[in-house]
Amino acid sequence: MQITSRFTIAVHSIILIAYNQDMKVTSKLIAGSTNVNPVIVRGVLSQLKEAGIVNSRQGATGITIAKPLSEITFYDVYKAVDSVKDEGLFHFHENPNPDCPVGRNIHSAMDGRLNQIQTSMENEMKQIRLSDIVGDVQSIIESEQNS
């Protein structure tokens, strides 16, 4: 079980855009900060744009955030970058043996619980706003500067 790195790349990108709101933010700048290939960054930005989280235009404006950070949650980003496909967070092994009593019944015993875990995680993600993260990053940077 693992959420892809696209999620953390997306959050990092949004926070970088917010932190540098007075300058032109490009995929090259984001790639430099995330230390990720610019092609991957552009793919993530495209998904964020499609979800209405960022705006990007060729030219002077660069990449901007489309709505207030207080309206963007971890869940919004998680869904935007397809961190988990429709089959769910947990990938169950494909072919439990139907001739084995455990293999035959393991899905019935586990599926509901795995769905419950995913729902709990997603509900928690809905409570975390990117405005909280940008505030934390700014506080940490200020602490570094005052050290």
Give the CA count within 13 Å in the CB-facing half-sphere of 70: 0
Q: Which domains does the chain have, with CATH numbers?
A: 5-132 (1.10.10.10)
13-27 average pLDDT score: 92
> What is the maximal distance between C-alpha atoms in the chain?
66
Whole-number pLDDT of residue 2: 63
pLDDT digits (tens, 9 = 90+) for 48-65: 999 999 998 766 678 999
> pLDDT category, 94, cuts 50, 70, 90?
confident
> pLDDT category, 18, cuts 50, 70, 90?
very high
Check: CB of residue 28 under 8 Å from CB of residue 38. yes
Distances 115 to 3, 21, 73, 123 between C-alpha atoms, Å:
15, 39, 21, 12
Least confident segment among 36-45, 46-55, 82-91:
82-91
Phi and psi for 55 in degrees, rounded to 5?
A: -115, 145
Whole-number pLDDT of residue 59: 65
pTM of the model: 0.87
Whole-number pLDDT of residue 56: 86
Provide the 3-class DSSP secondary structure of residue 116: helix
Provide the 3-class DSSP secondary structure of residue 66: coil
